[in-house]
A = this chain, B = another copy of it.
């Protein structure tokens, strides 16, 4: 259901085509709810069926035609109703943490490599969000306050994951673990 509302939110900024929304979902709103174009077209169809949005074909000569969707009054009302229901926070769900939990049964070296890769990823994303955040600083328009708060979550999320990776790498380093290194010798692995 939520994707439909996320699309409606995108439509409150003006008419958008499926293609537009797909691109938008790679930035802005999409930081908090991602979707592939295949799914977006599917959901746009449902929005049309419910009359929460209306479609209009825009004829273009230089590019392929586009089908623009606009939010209707019923759509706005649906958004309002949606916001009045309690939302469920996203729960932690990460196979990496599952691996950590079962650390004795997995390859420690691979885990370390994974940690390193993640650390880099989180730092990259943090920088990305920070750039977006800077653009909203010092504004006190309601919309900007909201978007800033949302981005703040993203910033903290990446920052804390990044920092945690550093600590984890430290605690799981061969030096810190001493003799408890469970890495399977290469010779044994080659036989398997």
Contact = CB atoms under 8 A, between A and B. Distances in A.
Nearest to A184: B80
A85 B107 CA distance: 10
Interface range, A side:
35 or more
A45 to B, nearest CB: 20
B79 A32 contact: no
Contacts of A184: 80
A129 B148 CA distance: 29
Please list the 6 inter-chain residue pairs (A to B) with the smallest Cβ-Cβ separation, ordered nearest first.
A103-B146, A9-B102, A83-B106, A32-B97, A100-B150, A84-B110
Contacts of A103: 142-143, 145-147
Contacts of A147: 100-101, 103
A96 B89 contact: yes
A110 B92 contact: no
Q: Give the copy number.
A: 2
A95 B171 contact: no
A93 interface: yes
Interface in A138-192: 140-143, 145-147, 149-150, 152-154, 156-157, 160-161, 164, 167-168, 171-172, 177, 180, 182, 184, 192
A101 B164 contact: no
Contacts of A84: 107, 110
A86 interface: yes
Contacts of A28: 101
A65 interface: no
Contacts of A101: 9, 28-29, 32, 146-147, 150
A48 interface: no
A154 B89 contact: no
A7 B108 CA distance: 19
A97 B171 contact: no
